[in-house]
Structure 1
Amino acid sequence: MENEEHSRSDDRIENHFDIHESSIQEPTAQVENNFERMDVSVNLLLKQANNLYDNGNFTGALAIYQKALQQDPINIKALDGEGRTLYELQRFQDAIQIFDKALKLNPNDMVALNAKGASLSSLGKKLDAIQLYDRVLEINPNSVKALNNKGTELEYLGRYQQALFFYDEALKIDSKYTMAYLNKGDLLKELGRHDEAMAAYDKVLQIDPTNIDAMNVKGLLLVNLKQYNASLPYFDKALAIDPQYELALGSKGDALFGLGRFQEAIQSYNAALQIDANDTNVLVGMGKSLDVLNRHQEAVQSYQKATLVDRNDTSSLLDKGLALSQLTRYAEALQIYEDILRINPSKAEALVGKANILYKLENYREALRNYEEALLINSNNTDAIQGKQLAENRAHTTFVSNISN
């Protein structure tokens, strides 16, 4: 299930297997020889690369792993490290090729199996990823990371009850596995089971009181429940731990927007954009805040940046269309709504937006047709219902006037 909020800083897929987890079975003779002949210099290089990786210096780590492989081309730990680093650099296809090399040396390398699954998942190959997680579970049925990952893929595929089952299976094995609690909480929140979601987030904070992701998602859940004042302390706690935590800055902006503190919201969004200028959720939140303050031209610019990041983001496009309409730039707004309908012909909000402009342009019959089309998609759309009534009245008045003339 997709989440459009500023929710999590870490990947929901667990890609961080300990290097010693490469296999729980006896290695092949070739692998034994590999470890026997590993010299001190390679070990030192691996230690250096692992430290760089752990500190988030993936480019530096990659160079060192590759240097180690020049000395020992069949070193599984170096191959696993190189592959995981390529994954972090979002070079997923390259990562898969490296993991395949490791798996030729040791088919039971759980690091490579898990991380190859994560790479396939990032390329949209969810079913292929599940097959690899199942292979890990054949080797080690108690692998909580593989259970978590399989749950995440099932959630993406819309198989929510199965996903919850695998999250729970992971937690039965390791009751302190915070990632499974976070994933479970996120899914429960999306399913509208808010109390259970809150309990999952609270469990994370009991295990790890400094977990900034749990603080952020708990705060966001309170924002969704319109408990804006209650949410703010969680964002502030997270930011006290990590002032550069961009997701919490964006989430705090959402809470401030909900409280009507639009100028403060803009300040929080600006701080988030200083860290990640391409966060579409923040750009949209910024645009909405500027719109409310009648700074429509600036709002359009913010929405424009969001659509440049993701041209298929219909939420950003809708807000941009509204802002252009408020600037009476009707031709541009109509084009935006047409673009949305090309992406998603069933987007009722775009039909209503288009109809509203046609109504303002006194094209009442076309406005009426678009309102009616929107109601066929969502019969409870109040804007479409009200717009249809107004358009019908205007169309009738125009018709009578034309007859009289």
Structure 2
Amino acid sequence: MKIFPLSILSVLLFLQLTVYSQEQDWLYTLYLNEQYDQLIQEAKAAIRTDSTSSDLFYILGLAYAELSKYDSALYYLQGAQEKDSTNLKILSASGRMYTSLGRYNEAIQTYEIILNKDSSMIKPRTLLANLFFLQDNHSEAIIHYEYLVLRDTSNYFYYKQLGRCYQELGNTDLALACFIKAFILNPYDLGIVSRMINLYLRKRDFINGIELANKGLAIDSMNIELLKQRAYLYYLTEQYNQATQDFHQAIVAGDSSQFTFKYLGLCLYEEKKFFDAREHLRMAYMKDTLDAETTFFLALSYRWSKEEEKGVIYLNKTLTLLQPNPRQMSRIYIELAGVYQVLHQFDMTIESYMKALEYTDNKDLIYFRLGQVYDENLDNKKIAIEYYQKYLDNKTADHQLYDPSSQTLEPLLDQVQSRINRLREELFFEE
């Protein structure tokens, strides 16, 4: 047996390592130059010579990942992991492949292994938190995002994600606190601004909501979402003119949503611009024929713009949509009765008022209106007196009514009592 001197063995080992190192450098050069097909070909050839190298499997996995061949990438990364199970860069790459393949539970397990080895690593913890967020496991995500904001108080993304988690869990105050910090760090993320406005809406803090919308629109005056949100806030605070302007601006910016047409129509209705209101409400109705509020105010807009017949059609549609909401049903029947009265369809007027009585406990004003129909339209004094008296017996509030003779608002109670007395006198002389 021939024995080589130790010095010769050392030289041979050095030469082998040198060749191996040069080969690795060459493969990484191919990777950096995005020559992935050539890299794959040469790395596979090298593996046939040396199948124990974790680096060869690792670089192959990276190359396949760049080509979006995630199954092949994961196969070689798992091979690399078998040969070097403690290598964190291999584990990290495997975690990314599991995520790309939608295998989130395995990705989570991989990142947890990494953090068990080194809990101070930021990127794996960030990716782990994001995975918990993607799986709607917001409580677990919060644990990691809270750790991350302590490690990096200047990272707005961590505060943003933490805020989103608290928002999903319904904790409005903590969500707002996180979003405010994120907004301070990055006031140009208008998505955060929009989320904060929604939270202010939930808290019914309309003033802060408007102020925040102003800040966002100062950055992008044509941001559709912020225009809609500020317009809605103006609507809720009865600033209809400002709301109308913002909704119009949103349409100019390209918005054609049912929400915008609906609330623009409602603003115009409140401003008594009934012709314009009905056009926008009609557009909203065409986009959603099941929205009872849209249908109802479309009906009223037709009524007050002198198209009572169409008003009747849409009020009846609203009735169909709203059943069985008693409070709203009563109001719609009252409006329907008013339209029929304008159309001189007094039988339908009475029928509608009678229906309205079925859906409310506050019957007093309906009794009064029935009395008016029998008194002024049907000239039936006896029944008119009956309903006027029912109003007096069931009165729930001190109502007022315009008196044409004095041109002032007078207590309805006094006017009804006076009218009853007058009708009784007329009946006496008729008999």
For this structure pair, what is the TM-score category when the shorter chain's length is used for normalisation? Answer: 0.5 to 0.7
Matched residue, 2:263: 251
Residue 179 of structure 2, aligned match among 170, 184, 188: 170
Displacement of 1:199 in angstroms is 0.5
Tell me the alpha carbon deviations over residues 350-402 of structure 1, each in whole angstroms, 9 at most, x when there is no partner: x4553334433522233234432xx3xxxx7657x944444444556678999
Tell me the alpha carbon deviations over residues 176-200 of structure 1, each in whole angstroms, 9 at most, x when there is no partner: 3123222144246x35x53x23202
Matched residue, 2:201: 186
Matched residue, 2:395: 371
Matched residue, 2:39: none
Matched residue, 1:123: none
Displacement of 1:289 in angstroms is 0.9
Matched residue, 2:9: none
Whole-angstrom distance in 1 between the partners of 2:129 and 2:313: 47
Matched residue, 2:352: 332
Residue 307 of structure 2, aligned match among 291, 295, 299: 295
Matched residue, 1:158: none
**Paired residue secondary structure (2:272):** coil
1:222–1:291 distance in 2 versus 1, CA, 3 Å: same
Contact 1:325 1:333 in 2 (8 A): yes
1:77–1:174 distance in 2 versus 1, CA, 3 Å: farther
Matched residue, 2:212: 200
Whole-angstrom distance in 1 between the partners of 2:313 and 2:230: 31
Displacement of 1:309 in angstroms is 3.6
Contact 2:364 2:394 in 1 (8 A): yes
Whole-angstrom distance in 1 between the partners of 2:140 and 2:308: 54
Whole-angstrom distance in 2 between the partners of 1:104 and 1:395: 83
AA in 1 matched with 2:194:
M
How many aligned residue pairs are there?
Answer: 282
Residue 323 of structure 1, aligned match among 319, 335, 338: 335
Report the identity percentage.
11
Tell me the alpha carbon deviations over residues 55-86 of structure 1, each in whole angstroms, 9 at most, x when there is no partner: xxxxxxxxxxxxxxxxxxxx777779xxxxxx
Whole-angstrom distance in 2 between the partners of 1:392 and 1:280: 38
Whole-angstrom distance in 2 between the partners of 1:319 and 1:181: 35
**Paired residue secondary structure (2:290):** coil
Displacement of 1:325 in angstroms is 1.5
* Bigger Rg, structure 1 or 2: 2
- 1:58-73 matches, within 5 Å, as none
Displacement of 1:245 in angstroms is 2.4
Matched residue, 1:140: 145
Contact 2:183 2:193 in 1 (8 A): no
Tell me the alpha carbon deviations over residues 28-64 of structure 1, each in whole angstroms, 9 at most, x when there is no partner: xxxxxxx999996778xxxxxxxxxxxxxxxxxxxxx
Gap runs ≥5 in structure 1: 1-34, 44-74, 81-101, 118-131, 155-161
1:145–1:387 distance in 2 versus 1, CA, 3 Å: farther
CA RMSD of aligned residues (A): 4.5
Matched residue, 2:245: 233
- 1:276-315 matches, within 5 Å, as 276-312=288-324
AA in 1 matched with 2:289:
A
Contact 1:303 1:317 in 2 (8 A): no
Contact 1:352 1:371 in 2 (8 A): yes
Bigger Cα displacement from structure 2, 136-145 vs 323-332: 136-145
Task: Point out 4+ residue stretches in structure 1 off by more than 6 angstroms.
Answer: 35-39, 75-80, 102-105, 107-113, 396-405
Tell me the alpha carbon deviations over residues 124-169 of structure 1, each in whole angstroms, 9 at most, x when there is no partner: xxxxxxxx64444234335645635645775xxxxxxx73453233
**Paired residue secondary structure (2:395):** helix
Displacement of 1:264 in angstroms is 1.8
1:139–1:389 distance in 2 versus 1, CA, 3 Å: farther
Whole-angstrom distance in 2 between the partners of 1:206 and 1:246: 26
1:135–1:392 distance in 2 versus 1, CA, 3 Å: farther
1:312–1:152 distance in 2 versus 1, CA, 3 Å: farther
Contact 1:247 1:272 in 2 (8 A): yes
Displacement of 1:292 in angstroms is 1.2
Gap runs ≥5 in structure 2: 1-60, 72-97, 113-127, 147-157, 341-345, 375-383, 402-409
Contact 2:388 2:416 in 1 (8 A): yes
1:173–1:274 distance in 2 versus 1, CA, 3 Å: same
Contact 1:114 1:146 in 2 (8 A): no
1:401–1:263 distance in 2 versus 1, CA, 3 Å: closer
TM-score by structure 1 length?
Answer: 0.54
